[in-house]
Structure 1
Amino acid sequence: MASYDQTRNRLETYFDRTAAKTWEALTSDAPVSKIRQTVREGRDTMRAAMLAQLPDDLNGARVLDAGCGAGPMSFELAKRGADVLAVDISPSLLDVARARTPDTLKSQIRFTAGDMLDPDYGSFDYVIAMDSLIHYRADDIANALAKLAPRTREKLVFTIAPKTPFLTAFWLMGQAFPRKDRSPQIVPHSETGLAKAMKAAKISDQPRKVTRVSRGFYISQAMEVAV
């Protein structure tokens, strides 16, 4: 399987070039297909569930929105008073996010293109990573969290692709019939497998399941690590 860097480079190509317009539409109010509508609704539900794990009042808190895309999570964090560093590998989606940022929130959000694990970004009170780790192997996810945990004062909230029969079948089909032009493959994980990988990465606090959202073609599971 691909390494973290190989997967990241492929994601950058996909989200910044191949599917930038698709994701711009998906994260807007524009009409989309029925399948994409279920993804939109699932993502909205997941975003609300992840935000529910953070305080309503984030005044004075510095938050990393890791894999911010077009910015909907960043906007909600800023509305709660947070100082948000919004990082994404797609400059195209960041341009969309900047254009959509309400004037009242612009002073609280800094959008930047790059790797969400870059140590130069400093430390945070909270890290939130919605669907930005779902394309990676368990050891890559664990190693990413191991890099972020020492720089996080309170909590990491992230999502994984749960190991359901549906997602596993899609993953196996992708392995059997690879295509250069297909979207980046989602890698399903069990909670046990992820916990084992995190233990190997020397993360003392084990992940806790927050919720699972299943809406049509959108299936994702929120986890958190208190640090």
Structure 2
Amino acid sequence: MSYDRTLTRVETYFDKTATRTWEALTSDAPVSKIRETVRRGRDAMRQQMLSRLPNDLRGARILDAGCGTGAMTTELAARGADVVAVDISPSLVAIAQRRLPETLAHRVAFHAGDMLDERLGRFDHVLAMDSLIYYRDADIARSLATLMARSSGRIVFTVAPRTPLLMGMWYAGKLFPRSDRSPTMIPHSPARLARAYAHANGTGTLAPLERVTSGFYISHAMEVTA
């Protein structure tokens, strides 16, 4: 499946099917025990990604690529960054705008659309939490190369790790497709993704960081540095 086709499917899912689910998951509202493990995992991953950037981000322009309901955006703005928060889902962007504290509003520019849109400009750093997990390695590599060409610092992103559990789920999803289900995460290995990035003529070095596992949430952080 091409980047554009996957992008359209992700947009449809998050903007039409799963908006209320994600609004609840990313809030303080009570959720099921399973979703609570996902919430804790996402919180831990967000903190790991933020730890790769300076605590003082005043003067830095940062792309929150796949901002969702805005948790990462808020923390970046609170550190003093000028944040470009983009998500393919207009519904999630609207939630992020509502949740952003008024005192930080002047630091954030929200956009609904493709994170690769060149009109978004250049950045000091890029964070992409769980927004590339539905794409194949070649599409991720090209996306990272595109973003790195417009970034002077680092790109911190996540992928689904290539574990036996996730591989089994992925193959099951291919065997039993359903038009109404969420987009399927594609597991990746750091080494294979690094080779794909080199093949895409990406600049800098792609390296793995740490994996976060919390119940049904499994995600591996990686980064590209100049």
Letter of the aligned partner of 1:108 in structure 2? R
Unpaired runs of 5+ residues, structure 1, are: none
Moved more, 92-101 or 57-66: 92-101
Does the 8 Å contact 2:194/2:206 carry over to 1? yes
Question: Any residues of structure 2 matched to 1:33-182 within 5 Å, and which?
Answer: 33-182=32-181
TM-score where L is the length of structure 2 = 0.99
Answer with 44-53 or 195-204: which moved more.
195-204
Distance 1:43 1:186 in 2: 15
Letter in 2 for 1:95: A
Distance across 2 between alignment mates of 1:108 and 1:210: 28
CA–CA separation in structure 1 for the residues paired with 2:202 and 2:116: 16
Instruction: Say if 2:182 is the partner of 1:183.
Output: yes
Alpha-carbon distance between aligned partners in 1 of 2:205 and 2:150, rounded to the nearest angstrom: 17
Question: SS at the partner of 1:124?
Answer: coil
Q: How far apart in 2 are the matches of 1:131 and 1:87? A: 13
Residue type of the partner of 2:114?
D
TM-score (structure 1 length as normaliser): 0.98
How many Å apart are 1:110 and its aligned residue? 1.0
Distance 2:223 2:68 in 1: 20
| Residue 204 of structure 1, CA deviation | 3.6
- SS of residue paired to 2:153: strand
How many pairs does the alignment contain? Answer: 226
Name segments (4+ residues, structure 1) moved above 6 Å: none
Contact between 2:141 and 2:196, CA under 8 Å: does it hold in 1?
yes
Q: Which amino acid aligns with 1:89?
A: I
1:37-66, CA deviations, whole angstroms, 9 ceiling, x for partnerless residues?
Answer: 111000000000000000000000000000
Which amino acid counterpart does residue 45 of structure 1 have in structure 2?
Answer: A
Is residue 2:46 matched to residue 1:30? no
Distance 1:28 1:186 in 2: 23
Provide the rounded CA distance (Å) in 2 between the counterparts of 1:206 and 1:150: 13
Residue 208 of structure 1 and its aligned partner are, at CA, apart by: 1.4
Change (3 A) 1:204 1:85: closer
Q: Which amino acid aligns with 1:48?
A: Q
CA apart distance, 1:23: 0.4
Does the 8 Å CA contact 2:149/2:203 hold for their aligned counterparts?
no
How far is the alpha carbon of 1:206 from its aligned partner? 2.8
